[in-house]
Structure 1
Amino acid sequence: MPQPEKVLDPTQSPEAWFGHELRLRRKAAGFSTAGPFARKVQVSVDVLLKIEKGIYRCPEDLPPRLDAALGSDGLFTRAWGMVFGDADKHGRDADKRRPLPGEGSAPQPQGRMLEKGAPSSSTRSPDSVHRRRFLTISSGLLALAPLDLSALLSPATQLTIPDKISSKEIRQLQEIAAGLHSWDNTHGGGGLVGHLATNSMQWAIGLLSADCPPSLRPDFLGAVARLGLVAGGSQFDVYRHDEARLAFKVAVECAEEGQHWHLRAKGYSFLARQAIWTGDADDGLTNAEKGLVRQDRLTASERAMLHTARARAFGKLRNVQETIAAVGAADDAFAQRRPEDDPPWMAYYDEAQHNGDTAHALWDLAVGIDEYDPTQAGHRFQAAVRGHGPQFLRSKAMSCTKLASLVMRRGDPREAAAIGHRALELGGDLTSLRAADDLRQLAQFAGRHSKIPDAAHLQEAITATLRP
């Protein structure tokens, strides 16, 4: 008796999405079993089934044959580069960033701060009460009708892909991106925000296979790119790095095809920051440099954003001269900033954001090199904490935590403890693994001063907050 087919979950990983899409299109093309299709595309049945299950790396020469057999207009050829192109360089262990000197290893954060961890790939729908609570976060969600937002919050729901893209889908993509951006900055990328990021991105990728009138295509590609940036940012925040990387690359591809230079720059900035966070500063530097290609088309804020990414890469590499030079280039660009020239979604890159981002680059020097003066990093973090409003709570909390760690490492532990309690107050309810890791690192620094009651109390408070 034949075994039933394994149910595929496209939200598990980029490879799982690729395999799920392949199976759907194979069956839609009339190949109900794998054998005849495998012979048509000249691959073994075993390899084809493993690719569909997301457990085998698709050979680079296979996607063109898949597209030819399925009439998928280059979909699998384009997707291969985004899903498998970096597989040799970015293995599963790349999700673990390299610890800084003195950090040591730490278990994955859990507990109240993280709402019991990153978004689950379970097929169970979020509890209806929690969903209603989430829907009250912003009245902007109500503007998404006629799209059923509850479907985007349920991984088990198969979202409808229209035969042809219309202005309705473009408007929905834009509204989801705007709402998700706001909630992610305020609450972090975990919980229901994470579910919405994953499922809306899956829907957006599906829309790319639909027919789109030439007159709408630039706006449609721009809307997908914008959602890719926002969804990828949420996934990055909870260490779903494969999903985030795919979302960022989809965003860059769509931005380039649609000639949206501002979105392209932001996509490469995200790719740079993610690479730096996961321990590949060289790759981060490369992506930042890619973003600066044709910088004459970018606004001053965008140039500052990319130079800051360069600075953070050099900081991780402990290259003092290049870090300071990149921070200087970022400052020079920011001094020319004209907010009216920026696209609306770049409004976040204000003075507080610039100070926080450049301070992060200098922080690596101040913590990693005893001879480096930490004063400039401290002043910039202070300005960031003062300047961030409640709509950017995660950025405010993370800058405050880094400032506390800097003072704990290079200054007065008692002063650092006071700052640390403020950071804990700001970030204790965020669903952000990045914010949790920063707090955990602060606790490690505080542990070096265990004989000082203020530092010991802070360490205990952070441990209690992160405890399940």
Structure 2
Amino acid sequence: MCTGTEPISNHSGRAHRDCAEPDADSLKVRHQRLRGQEMPQPMKELNPGASPQEWFGNELRELRKADRLSAAALGRLVQVSDDMILAIEKGKYPSCRRDVAQRLDDVFRTGGLFDRAWPMVFGNRDADRKRADADTRAAGREEGAVQVRTSRILGSDEPSPRPGSHEPVDRRSFLQVSGLAAFAPIDLTQVFAPSDGLTLPKDVSPTEIDQVLAAATAISGMDNKLGGGGMVRDVASRAMQWAAGLLQVQCAEHLRADLFASVSRLGIVVGASAFDAYHHEEATKTFKFAADCAEEAGDWHLRAKTYSFLARQAVWIGAPDDGITYAEKGLVRSDRLTATEQAMLHAARARAFGKMGNVRDTMAAVGAADEAFTRARPSEDPPWMAYYDAAQHNGDTAHALFDLAILAGQDPGRAARRFDTAVKGHSDSFKRSRAISRTKLAALVMAKGDPRQAAAIGHDALDEVGRLTSRRAADDLRQLGHFAAKHQKVQEASGLRERIAATVSA
């Protein structure tokens, strides 16, 4: 059946359709609805002849202006952020994905113009970057203290961040917290006395790199089982300072990438722990530091993981638009990522769109996440991606669908089924994730279904959440209590609410 949205390619210009065009009045109403409320800003003058990227950007800008669409409105239509649209127009986006080019063709009915141009404009950028990286390494190869250079992965081509977005993080800032002890990360159970400085080696060897990775694995395990507060937070902070200190000492050139990768991995874990404990400023700083280290190491997988966490944190603190931006940054050159990592980032996009109550884009992002996950091959993933299994995927996408059910009146059954799969699939090693999914399932049933059934699920969640130090889990309990308060005449709901109040205030 023709929906009025399917284009048929035509090389002579905009596509013809095999069904009726929307009339002018309906298109006008559509564009008025989609137009953002942006303050007028002077646009950068483009020179279409300067580069293929500026030609591509100029074509896009001209079409957008002709249709009187804001960058934000166009971004919603093609499922990307307004930052990405503006960066493409300026010729500054490192590698526009081909599916984005194809969606631009669909919106503007170009007959495939952007899709045909994509190989010439973006297809050869990676080879250029590789040659530039090789030249840089050849010119600057020397032994000595590690220095953070311009990003190896994206270099200067990454879009300029808007306020609050990704900025370089000074690794020395991790060394300036007074009163924290030197930390030998291989022994996480040792009690450390405060000292005036960090006990660091004279030179970085593979032993120190292995210690950083061992710390990351151990802290991640504790965080997933216990939450990010209490002792876990203290151990994580000390480990991060020690690891960051390694970047100040001598390191052989052949160990540099491994060192930066190990510190990035630890930064992801420590940032996640701070996020869970609601130390958001510290979490953001640590995630961005981890992203810088990943770029310096040339590790696309670690880079993707850091932006996934930044996206999830942005959504959690009420900045879903920033969450979309971070997820889009993570998806740059998605061909370099495993299918599991692609699913993880599309799920983050879905959660951001869901928090906005944007039904169409949420469902599209969930669909993209599901499609990627069907292609997942655990043997292709880094070892630390093993957590993203069917339970994690269902739980992440269920959060997005939960928001659609609550905010946009969509079918709650879609989210409920995924939360149930997550609860049944999470092992004891992921008690926090299991508890959060169970709590959200109870909240969904309490809001949209049988409050007595919801109360039974909620008590099971409380049995597990009560042993965690997770602020996120506690806030989800408060939301469940809020929904339970709407059923004051249901004894089971009232009993659950009283128990929640006692638990979160303890």
Q: TM-score with structure 1 length normalisation?
A: 0.69
Whether 1:407 and 2:440 are equivalent positions in the alignment is: no
Q: CA offsets, 1:288-310, max 9 Å, x none?
A: 01111111111110000000000
Q: Which amino acid aligns with 1:444?
A: H
Partner SS, residue 202 of structure 2: coil
Whether 1:353 and 2:364 are equivalent positions in the alignment is: no
Contact 1:229-1:248 at 8 Å conserved across structures: yes
Out of 380, 394, 399, which is 2:418 matched to? Answer: 380
Whether 1:315 and 2:354 are equivalent positions in the alignment is: yes
Whether 1:195 and 2:237 are equivalent positions in the alignment is: no
Whether 1:184 and 2:226 are equivalent positions in the alignment is: no
Aligned partner of 1:418 in structure 2 is 456
Aligned residues: 343
How far the C-alpha of 1:187 sits from its partner, in A, is: 0.4
Q: Which amino acid aligns with 1:303?
A: Q
CA 1:143–1:204: 2 relative to 1, 3 Å: closer
How far the C-alpha of 1:209 sits from its partner, in A, is: 1.4
Aligned partner of 1:219 in structure 2 is 258
Whether 1:444 and 2:482 are equivalent positions in the alignment is: yes
How far the C-alpha of 1:467 sits from its partner, in A, is: 2.1
How far the C-alpha of 1:163 sits from its partner, in A, is: 2.7
Structure-1 separation of matches of 2:295 and 2:186? 27
Aligned partner of 1:326 in structure 2 is 365
Q: CA offsets, 1:226-273, max 9 Å, x none?
A: 000000000000011111111111111111111111111001101111
Structure 2, unmatched stretches of 5+, are: 1-143, 152-159, 166-176
Partner SS, residue 270 of structure 2: helix
Partner SS, residue 411 of structure 2: coil
Aligned partner of 2:138 in structure 1 is none
Structure-1 separation of matches of 2:297 and 2:148? 16
Structure 1, unmatched stretches of 5+, are: 1-70, 79-84, 91-120, 126-140
Partner SS, residue 216 of structure 1: helix
CA 1:87–1:287: 2 relative to 1, 3 Å: closer
Q: Percent of counterpart pairs with the same letter?
A: 55
Q: Which stretch shows the higher mean deviation, 342-351 or 196-205?
A: 196-205
Q: CA offsets, 1:396-441, max 9 Å, x none?
A: 0000000000000111111100010011011111000000000111
Aligned partner of 1:465 in structure 2 is 503
Partner SS, residue 296 of structure 1: helix
Contact 2:185-2:215 at 8 Å conserved across structures: no
Partner SS, residue 288 of structure 2: helix
RMSD of aligned residue pairs (Cα, Å): 2.6
Structure-1 separation of matches of 2:489 and 2:189? 56
Q: Which amino acid aligns with 1:374?
A: P
How far the C-alpha of 1:344 sits from its partner, in A, is: 0.5
Q: CA offsets, 1:364-397, max 9 Å, x none?
A: 1111122x11110000000000000000000000
Structure-1 separation of matches of 2:149 and 2:282? 17
The residue correspondences of 1:113-192 to structure 2 (distance < 5 A) are 123=179, 144=186, 149-151=190-192, 158-192=197-231
The residue correspondences of 1:241-252 to structure 2 (distance < 5 A) are 241-252=280-291
Q: CA offsets, 1:70-98, max 9 Å, x none?
A: x99867999xxxxxx999548xxxxxxxx
Whether 1:454 and 2:492 are equivalent positions in the alignment is: yes
Out of 201, 205, 209, which is 2:248 matched to? Answer: 209
The residue correspondences of 1:337-352 to structure 2 (distance < 5 A) are 337-352=376-391
Partner SS, residue 198 of structure 2: coil
Structure-1 separation of matches of 2:398 and 2:215? 31
Whether 1:269 and 2:308 are equivalent positions in the alignment is: yes
Structure-2 separation of matches of 1:155 and 1:397? 35
Structure-2 separation of matches of 1:353 and 1:339? 14
How far the C-alpha of 1:451 sits from its partner, in A, is: 1.4
Aligned partner of 2:471 in structure 1 is 433
Aligned partner of 1:294 in structure 2 is 333
Structure-2 separation of matches of 1:409 and 1:148? 43
Structure-2 separation of matches of 1:435 and 1:155? 32
The residue correspondences of 1:20-31 to structure 2 (distance < 5 A) are none
Structure-2 separation of matches of 1:156 and 1:280? 39
How far the C-alpha of 1:320 sits from its partner, in A, is: 0.2
Structure-2 separation of matches of 1:86 and 1:150? 41
Q: Which amino acid aligns with 1:299?
A: T
The residue correspondences of 1:221-236 to structure 2 (distance < 5 A) are 221-236=260-275
Contact 2:339-2:375 at 8 Å conserved across structures: yes
Q: Which amino acid aligns with 2:259?
A: F
Structure-2 separation of matches of 1:467 and 1:148? 29
CA 1:143–1:277: 2 relative to 1, 3 Å: closer
Contact 1:311-1:326 at 8 Å conserved across structures: yes
Contact 2:146-2:251 at 8 Å conserved across structures: no
Runs (4 or more) in structure 1 with deviation over 4 Å come to 71-78, 85-88, 121-125, 154-157
Out of 283, 295, 298, which is 1:256 matched to? Answer: 295
Partner SS, residue 150 of structure 1: coil
Out of 412, 427, 434, which is 1:389 matched to? Answer: 427
Structure-2 separation of matches of 1:314 and 1:166? 44
Query: Could you say which structure has the larger radius of gyration?
Result: 2
Aligned partner of 1:367 in structure 2 is 406
Q: CA offsets, 1:316-362, max 9 Å, x none?
A: 11110000000000000000111111111000000000000000011
Partner SS, residue 337 of structure 1: coil
Structure-1 separation of matches of 2:324 and 2:180? 40
Structure-2 separation of matches of 1:124 and 1:456? 45
Contact 1:155-1:199 at 8 Å conserved across structures: no
Structure-2 separation of matches of 1:376 and 1:77? 44
Q: Which amino acid aligns with 2:492?
A: D
Structure-2 separation of matches of 1:287 and 1:353? 20
Contact 2:146-2:250 at 8 Å conserved across structures: no
Contact 1:75-1:209 at 8 Å conserved across structures: no
How far the C-alpha of 1:162 sits from its partner, in A, is: 2.3
Contact 2:145-2:250 at 8 Å conserved across structures: no
How far the C-alpha of 1:122 sits from its partner, in A, is: 9.6
Q: Which amino acid aligns with 2:312?
A: R
How far the C-alpha of 1:156 sits from its partner, in A, is: 5.4
CA 1:385–1:142: 2 relative to 1, 3 Å: farther
